[in-house]
Structure 1
Amino acid sequence: MRTLISTDANFDQQLTELLAFETVNDKQLLATVDDIIHQVRHQGDEAVLALTQKFDAHPAQSMQDLVLSTEQLKQAYDELDIKVQEALNTAAARIESFHERQQQPSWDYTDELGNRLGQKVTPLDSVGIYVPGGLASYPSSVLMNALPAKVAGVKEIIMVVPAPKGELNPLVLAAAYLAGVERVFTIGGAQAVAALAYGTQTIPQVDKITGPGNKYVAAAKRAVFGQVGIDMIAGPSEVLVYAEGEAEDNADWLAMDLLSQAEHDTVAQSIFVTTSEAQLKAVDAAISKALSILPKADIARESLQNRGALILVKDRQQGLEVINRVAPEHLELSLNNPEALIDDIRHAGAIFMGRHTPEAIGDYCAGPNHVLPTSGTARFSSPLGVYDFQKKSSLIYCTQAGSKPLAKVADILAMEENLEAHARSARYRSGDA
């Protein structure tokens, strides 16, 4: 795991190189994804079935073999160990409670001319949520995508989840049942995204696709954007842990917080930033010790070697500069007074404040969404929320009297833009025609 020191002459270049990562710009990847999308658009179910058999080694012989019923989802939930069932229910309740507070009501007002202006908020008709499968299964992703859609009032929530060799994690199905998902298809990859975007004989077309996936999923979401909405182009998971060597810090805790991201993927990113050289060395040693006990140590080790870093900064101000430069998906502030930094943090997907708020709690059950902007996109993006499953329409209702002064203004501006029909249309309302 590399060490960067902010006072080094080439620190800025080192940081740039550390953060450089292209998610979906590989030409061969994009060509492969375009071909898959083309097959699904023109061959529908036939292509989806063939591609699922090819890429997932799924034993399905027909599309019906890729459809899960509500009864199957309920059975998976009913068969959960009671402790797991209770944990899933607790997480779902907290996630739903948080997102209910994001509801945006329609509103309107009457201006000084007597005209009514406002905004109508409407839920999307249908959404498709992509849940990763394969090497890992994420029931938490089901809850984080489906529950905000449910709170928003979406009528139809369709879930796709890959099932390599036909195998599925029962907890994923149980989470779908708990979240109110009624239609589930055991497909994944670019073919699942294409099927949701364009529809097939079996799979309905949706209005928006959300949820994380591998590079093929990310590339497919980018390719179908415009045909449908998408939440974001998600890159590998990332965390930045910031500390200042305070006496209460525990190097083992901090090391495990970094490893909790590194174990996700060999291209996940874990960055530790501190003002204390002694703490940097202690965390480095703690990471080495922890790697000896983790089941996914090989993945975590490669992740840390590929994209991880320990960064020593001279003071808090420089630490804040690094945080805002990285714009991390997850930011942990291991400090006695984390609130003191909040006003100066401009870019972060989620901010975990204090030593007792590890990112892992946010992944599962704190309440806020764990679908977050990655790869520096926290500079202009927000966590997934209820607002992602709603659309807004402007309301404009002019009275006869209130229309006249506005029509005069529109007439003048339209003529300046050389749009004669616009000007005449307004002029009819102003009485000057």
Structure 2
Amino acid sequence: MASNSRAQFSSKFGFIMAAAGSAVGLGNIWGFPTQTASNGGAVFLFVYLAMICLLAFPMLVAELTIGRYGQSDPIGSIRAVWPKGRSGAILLGLAAMITASLILSFYSIVAGWLVGSFAGSLFDIVGLTTASDWVNSFGPARNLTLMVTFMLLTMHVVKNGVHDGIELWSTRLMPVLFGLFAILIIYIFTLDGATEGLKMYLIPDFSHLSPKLVVSAMGQAFFSLSLGVGTIMVYGSYLSKDINIPKTAAQVAAVDTGVAIGAGLLILPAMFVAKAQGVQIFSEAGELLSSDTLVFTVLPAMFDTMGGAGLVVSLIFFLLMIIAALTSSISMLEVPVACAIEELNHKRSTAVAWIGGLITLIAAVIVFNFGALFGLVIEITTVYGQPILGLCFALLVGWVWSRNKLLEEIKQGYPELEKGLFWKIWPLYVRIVCPVFMILVFFA
């Protein structure tokens, strides 16, 4: 295990903002509302909330505890928990590191498009229409430029370390994100059509309830909390020993879920505002059109119908999306960087330079082979990589790690742990229920 001189978050607030920032990403702000709109609205919301409690929260506690116990990168932390399975620990840690890196490679491309949309709104405001047309076009040169811009931003934050980089930026950006959310939600509710979207979001129609919906909600809950790729484990390793892990995990899950719910309050009413202004959002069969690219098509079309105010609203919306993307991307880059620092004894600046450069290179290959690789990389990492790794981490905590050592670790920040309901349920839950849930997600 690492020494006490290792970097740590300086405050509980800093950790919660960083961990919530890691969890709050495009999956929350775009994925969750899109899934909700595609799966009958309120009924999906209620099942999603149940899955956060039943699956995501117990696994969040598990990953944080592994990280804090190991006080190291994913390879070192898994090795500390599983000393007899040295080669297995290395393989699991490497798999988490590679998955996080590959997710960042496609994530940086999408985040680059958001940078382009933000810049396009800015250029429109100052009258630079040619520049606006270029950043809003779709082509390898534009995609590459915007992706590299976003990766440089991510590398800059991670290079400054845990306290002066990740914590400092998370504690600045997350409150800005909450403020921008509030402004946009209030504004959208003043427009025609918003109440129709609100009804769809909050009044359940149980005819939509199906096994497929339950599986979708389960997957969304799992992915929205950054589980299964080592990010939560790495952030847990920077957590001081006197922090109450179950309570802190509940606070991170609450902030993350609050942002997802807020995104639904913004995007579903916005879709119906767009519909009221003549933008087609549903097919004749009642299915959501271009759900995966809605953020780049329907919302800009709605902003265009608002005139001058639409440009300002568009600017705020895409700034919000960039902040959400950045707080997630820094946590993904931190996983391989932490591995290079602790396993290879590299300096942080060196590790960020070569790993960030390598991920940028992989992203560039995807940009120039977009049709063949973009969807493939997303499928390999999120459909297969994350659930399999999440399952391995659940089995590690439930079946491999000594129950006494697990108890000892959590008790450091929660001395009365054994007397509470949490300890009576959680160990067995992670051992049996979480793996069964994850197998269901994977095979469905």
The reply to whether TM is greater than 0.5 is no
TM bucket normalised to smaller: under 0.3
Structure (1 or 2) with the greater helix fraction:
2
Q: TM-score with structure 2 length normalisation?
A: 0.24
Q: TM-score with structure 1 length normalisation?
A: 0.25
Structure (1 or 2) with the greater strand fraction:
1
Considering Cα pairs closer than 8 Å and 6+ residues apart, tell me whether 1 or 2 has the greater RCO: 2
